Each structure stands twice: as structure tokens, then as C-alpha cells.
Amino acid sequence: MAKKGLNRNLDYTLLTIVLLLLAYGLIVLYSASTVQSFQNFGNTYYYALHQLLYGACIGLVGLYICSRIDYHFWQKNLPVLIGLALLLLALVKVPHFGFSAGGASRWLRLGPILFQPAELAKMVVILYLASWIDKKRASLNDFYYGLLPSFIIIGLFALLIFLQPDVGTMLVLLAVAFFMLFASGLSFKYFFYSALCALLTLYALVKVAPYRARRLTTFLDPTVDPKGISYQINQALLAIGSGGLFGYGYGMSRQKHNYLPEVMNDSIFAVMAEELGFFRILAALALFVLLALRGFRIAKRAPDIFGKLTAFGITAWITLQALINLGAIVNLLPLTGIPLPFFSYGATAMIANLSAIGILLNISRHTSN
């Protein structure tokens, strides 16, 4: 017999939306990766197959397991999760553990498998904030007892991710934390101070690494340095514009033939728009909107503060990351190297996203009808 207040079934509407996004993403990834796959491995399916086996399949197992575990389990074991996430983030800088590529140390090598701890860190920060606000909501607006401890933990995670360096992921983590605190009813004055600190931090980041200033310049004027820092956004806009209303057709992208950088990662939407056109990419955008609406609905109906904020944080994480990726690739936001959830290549991100959806589905089993 089901517990009082516990639904017999999870939210199958949300599950269907996620499975459609997953299928759509794998189909798009296959086309986007064919050129690089053939150049590197002599076949056109290596990257898509790798994403299917090591990302989607393992992620779906994670989704199932997390959907069966009572979401309060994560609250009870938060100290272990926080310690493990921080340890893994630190290990990426340790020789023989960390793996570096493109000037960044963002991965751990586990035998033949590369693992990106920052993806786990995003989920752990969401669970930590949800639990902290649940326990401290009466004194949340007390800076020293309610707010400062959470700022320290979030700041520690953000610092370790920044040192990799992975500024894009750090910004997503901080944005999700910001929205969770906003949803919890934090005093407006703290948001003002936080915005001021964010601007000062942005200024410091630009001073430390001048290429970030060039990225902002490119965002304001894509014609600056078209063969250098502006090359990616110009090629992405060319791909999107070339696709028009109906696209060239599936598999017929021209930009993926070594013209557009990062075709499997943060530029994958440009390839999708070039091949499928405006009308067909609306389906993907609609699925992200439906996911957001369903996730926030679960958050609203969750039976306790921890459940509400965990559901809100997971939904905000996936939605914000999609918005940042899409906004950057159409030049509404500066390029940050943020992948598109369920579409971009990366097994760790796929596993993390699907496992997070599993937690969201478990919360849906506890919501009121």
C-alpha cells in the first residue's frame, strides 16, 4: 500500500519529454560528428555510439535508480556527497589522476574512461542549497548564521571549477544558486550586494585573462578579428542563417566539414539549424520549454521545502544551461563554451543530466495530485 501523499506513478509526461530530447539529441549528434569521427577513427559513428553506450545507456540506468530512491536519501548523505565532490574537483589538478586537454584540467582518468567532476558538483550544490535553506529558512536572512556558510560552500565549489579553468560551468553553478536563493525568499539587499560582487569578479576575470575581454568585444561586434576570436561565432551564424526555414536536409551540413569549431559540443545547435531549418528546430526548443514547465510544476507541488528547492534547482540547471548555450550560439550572449543538455557530446554531462531527472521524477511521486 502506498504511503499517504505518495503517488503510485512518477511523472510520465516529464519522462516522455526527456526521452524525446534524448532521442533527438542522439540523432543530431550523429550527423554533427560524422566528419570528425571519420577523420579520427575511420568510421562515421564512433562519437554517436560512444555517447549512446557510455552516456545515454548509463545515464538511463542512473535515471531509473535515482527515480526509485527516496529523494530524502540525498539530504541525509550530503556531507559524504559534498566531501566526495570537492575531493574529485581537487584531484583534476593532481598528476596521474587529472587529464588535461586544450589548456584545461577538467577531467579525471578512470582507466579508459574520462570523468568530469564539475557535472557532479552542480548536482551536489543544488542538493546542498536545498537542504541548507530547508534547515535554516527561519534565519536565512541573517547574514552570519544563515547566508555566510552557504556562500562559503558555493564559493569553494566555484573556485575549484574556476581553477580548472571552466568559467562557463562556474557561471552556470552560480546562476542556479542565485535563482534558488531568490526562490527561497532571500532579502533583495543581498541580491544587490551579490550583483555588485559579480561585476567586480567579472572585471577581475577580464584583467587576469585578457582573452575574456576579447570575447566580450566579439559579442558586441562579431566582425572584429573574423579569422581569430570571432571565427566561431561568425561560422555559427553563417550555419544558422544558411539553414533558413527548412534547412539543407539531415546530414547535409556544410559547416561541419572543418569550418565550424566545436560542432559536437557548444556549436551543435548551429549544425542542427543548418540541416533542419527553423521550423524543425522549434520542436527541440518546445521540448525544453515543456521540460521547464513540467519541472517547475513538480517543484510547486512537492511536499516539503527540500523537495521544492531540489526540483526547482534541477529544472533551473538544465533550462539555464540550454538558454545560455542557445543564446551564445545566436550571439545574444557571449560565447562561454557551455554544452547543450541532451545534445552536446559528453558522457559525464549526459549521465549527470539523466540522473538529475531521475531525482526530479522521484520527487514527482511525492507530489499532491
pLDDT in tens, 29-88: 999 999 999 999 999 999 999 999 999 999 999 999 999 999 999 999 999 999 999 999
> Per mean pLDDT, which range of 14-23, 73-82, 186-195 is the poorest?
186-195
| Mean pLDDT, all residues of the chain | 88
- Structure confidence at residue 136 as a pLDDT band (50, 70, 90): confident
Which is higher by pLDDT, 229 or 359?
359
pLDDT of residue 102: 66
pLDDT of residue 193: 76
Most confident among 3-17, 118-132, 163-177 (mean pLDDT): 118-132
Letter for the amino acid at 290?
Answer: L
- Structure confidence at residue 194 as a pLDDT band (50, 70, 90): confident
pLDDT of residue 3: 47
Query: What are the residue ranges spanned by the domains of the chain?
Result: 12-364
> Per mean pLDDT, which range of 74-83, 95-104, 332-341 is the poorest?
95-104
pLDDT of residue 142: 76
Give φ, ψ of 350 to 5 degrees.
-65, -45
Most confident among 162-176, 301-315, 326-340 (mean pLDDT): 301-315
